Amino acid sequence: MYTQVTFGQFLDRLLANSGIEFKQYPNPWDDWRQGDWGYEIQHDMAVRIFRYSSRNAETTIPGPRWNDISETCGTFEPRFTAGFNAAVMNLQ
């Protein structure tokens, strides 16, 4: 099963490879401007991707299926990557 550490490393790689500057939310030190890209890891390891102050410009990518014993790194990574890429395309 995915651990928080490996998921963090995987997410960091996806964010870096996107070519978009993502800011982690909430971070009071970030100076947010309309249209800035942000992400938030939610309690169930879902990831919310959004464009700051843009109407209806957010989506949540489901995290690992914790109750599914067949969920592995190998099944989660492609599913999450596809969801992440679709979210970025939809929010542009």
Each residue's pLDDT, cut to its tens digit, for the chain (92 residues) gives 455 545 667 888 899 999 999 999 988 888 999 999 999 998 878 899 999 998 889 999 998 887 887 877 778 888 899 999 999 999 98
Exposed (0-12), middle (13-18) or buried (19+): which is 62, by Cβ within 10 Å?
middle
Place of tokens 């599914």: 68
The torsion defined by the Cα of 16, 38, 28 and 54, in degrees rounded to 10, comes to 150
Please give the pLDDT value at position 7: 66
Please give the pLDDT value at position 3: 53
Please give the pLDDT value at position 75: 82
Question: What is the total residue count of the chain?
Answer: 92
4 neighbors 15 (Cβ within 8 angstroms): no
